[in-house]
A and B are shown apart, each in its own frame.
Chain A
Amino acid sequence: MGVMRSSETVQPAISVRSATANRGSLSHLLLQIRRRWQLYLLLALPIAYIITFAYIPMIGAQIAFRDYTVAGGVWGSEWVGFAHFERFFNSYQFTRLITNTISLGIYLLAVGFPIPIILALSLHQVQALWFKKLVQMVTYAPHFISTVVMVGLILQMLNPRFGILAQLTTALNLPQANAMSRPELYQSIYVWTDIWQHMGFSAIIYLAALTNIDPALHEAAVVDGASRFQRIRHIDIPGIMPIATMLLILNFGNFINIGFEKVLLLQNPVNTSVSEILDTYVYKIGLASPTLDFSYATAIGLFKGVIAFLMVVVANYAVKKMGQESLW
């Protein structure tokens, strides 16, 4: 459209023709829309869904700037500006929540990113197909366990009376310890059980990238006398680098969105000082406390949402700068 308009003004000689073309393309567009009515019919239901459950909540987030009352609702409650945000920034929870969220996110990324890559590189070296299949099948399986069952499993394994940890400490004559009652262990328990559950599944994408590497490269390297380790370093790792970089940056943009269901389920009264993150706090204030403070909770949620949005945008920009395929 913009291009057409400029050609009309700059080159009057062909303005008539382009104007008719313009009118023609408009009626052509309308004709196209009429012809494709069935596609719009198909789209109607998904669009209704996405507007209702994604866009109306975005509009509804305005209650972060209001004092939500049941009588006033989203549109009629009184405006209070940034009062809820100021209250949050000044509350004693603020620093703690930010620290907990960021440190857990970074810990998870720092450990959770390289391990699936190492697993994939290592699996790719295995020649015994049955062994490779066995490891794959076993390590993928925990991915399908639900969060509730996973946390139940963790609690049973760490049970101070009969869990694996207790048996180990008894066998080694070490003092008994209840790991779940030690806040300093909370993040490690969260992160390493997450690795246990998802490393196999996260390795899939790298394995797929490794099998796409041209076998001729390996053959040539073998002829040249390259050792296995050298082939990993100079062929396999560069081969998965593009996908790894992209995933790292996207994960980085996304790291504020930690799997909060597991954080919530692993919480107990002893560890909340380290286990309370932005998402769990929003849930507690907004939906699980005796005085439901919708506006305050929405403000905290919006604060997080804006940060997450900015981080994804920046991460995507970085991916683009590096010449990788980006999200958009």
Chain B
Amino acid sequence: MTSLGLSKRATVVDNTIRASAGDRVFMVINYVLLTIILLIVLYPLVYTLSASLSDPSAVITGKVVLFPVDFSLRSYEKIFNYPSIINGMLNSLFYTVVGSSVSIVLTFLAAYPLTRKDLPGRRFFTILFFFPLLFSGGLIPFYLVTRDLGLVNTRWALIIPTALSVWNLIITISYLRSSIPEELWEAAQIDGCSDIGYLMKIILPLSKSLVAVLFLVYAVAQWNQYFFSLIFQTNPDLAPLQIVLRNILILNKIDLGMIADVQRLADQQALQEQLKFSSIVVASIPVLMLYPFVQRYFVQGLTIGAIKG
């Protein structure tokens, strides 16, 4: 109903008073500008996909311009037979699932009490959590704490030290404040509901979309993370996908002997370059596939966190 009314209103504005020539020129320029932006953003993505689906020699000789040349799935076959990529994917899956779950629990544990006005010392605890946004001890002391806790070279190194994001805490607090009325707590309290019971029975069931947003934010950050593995883990068995990708894409460290029986140097180089494109696709697809489904939630969550009240 409302959307119908709104669109009707919009047409009234745009059609009954006929657009002037200047406005029409303006709109044409606007569409052209946006189309250019669209193409600039889209082209590298399409090119990467096409290159990964082409024949290696076509890629390296620059024959791929827009569409795949000599369509071939060989590089994907190779990628999925490359042990460190498979290992990296499994590790990243573990870090993403476990890490995001730990993070969400921790975020709610902090956010819920901080939204309760009857918590003695609420202001103190709020400052305690927010001050680290303004000042931090720096990378080295952070590293030393993690090292002294014995987390270096364990899987936990990628989960515990970065478990709570204060930005996500802010999003969560503003969501809870704006979407769950305080009267609910008063009513629940009269019914004899405990503080923890209120969190479990009222807050959590009412914040499903928030949990989805938090999972997405934490999961994307965890899946894309490489730096903390770089400083905390030297054991390649623990390496997440991004570290494996860094070796392939940026350091040019790829062991073709494990996956291909290519003798000629030129073929080797061609395959190596093409594997870069297919590994880019393979690493980005899980995140990009997830995103259209949750885009709505994501945008909502972001604007909730950003615009206070």
Contact = CB atoms under 8 A, between A and B. Distances in A.
B34 A135 contact: yes
B302 to A, nearest CB: 6
Contacts of A55: 132
Interface string A192-215: 000010011000110011000001
Majority secondary structure of chain B interface residues (helix, strand, loop or mixed) = helix
Contacts of B164: 46, 49-50
Interface string B166-188: 00000000000000000000000
A159 B14 CA distance: 48
Interface string A24-56: 000001001100101111110111011011111
Interface string B267-307: 00000010011011001100110011001000100110011
A228 B27 contact: yes
Given A135-B34, A142-B41, A265-B246, A167 B65 contact: yes
B80 to A, nearest CB: 18
Contact of B280 (A135, A153, A301): A153
B41, B45, B110, B279 pick with most chain A CB within 10 angstroms: B41
Given A146-B223, A283-B139, A153 B48 contact: yes
A275 interface: no
A152 B140 contact: no
Contact of B132 (A50, A223, A301): A50
Interface residues of B, number: 101
Contact of A43 (B113, B135, B136, B223): B113
Contacts of A32: 118, 120
Contacts of B113: 39-40, 42-43
B40 to A, nearest CB: 7
B204 interface: no
A63 B141 contact: yes
Interface residues of A, number: 99
Contacts of B30: 122, 125-126
Interface string A120-146: 001101110001001101111110111
Given A265-B246, A265-B250, A43 B110 contact: yes
Interface stretch (A5-13, A88-96, A305-313): A305-313
Given A46-B106, A162-B59, 9 more contacts: A39-B113, A53-B160, A56-B145, A61-B141, A205-B302, A219-B13, A228-B22, A228-B27, A304-B138
